[in-house]
Amino acid sequence: MNIIIGLIIMAVGFAFIVKTEWFLNNFGRVSFFEQHLATSGGTRLGYKLLGMVIMFIGLLFAINLIGGFTSWVLGPVIRLYN
């Protein structure tokens, strides 16, 4: 079941990358992306980066490494509060 859900998440991320212009036309510009990604198309680049992050999370979910990855990323924070 994890493989199917992971593939669906990866497809959503792929859609963000391929259909960037559609997302820009329907959801508009994001001021955070425009301000911090100092290119002429900051929102387009932001949508593509967001799509790559979503695809990475989907890949981790599909191969059942999401738990290990989140433990690795959040491990120092968890140890700090214990």
Tokens at residue 2, please? Answer: 């994890």
pLDDT for 56: 96
Please state the pTM of the whole predicted model.
0.84
**17-73 per-position pLDDT tens digit:** 999 999 999 999 888 988 888 777 889 999 999 999 999 999 999 999 999 999 999
Ranges of each domain in the chain: 2-81
Q: What is the dihedral of CA 25, 31, 34, 40, to 10 degrees?
A: 40
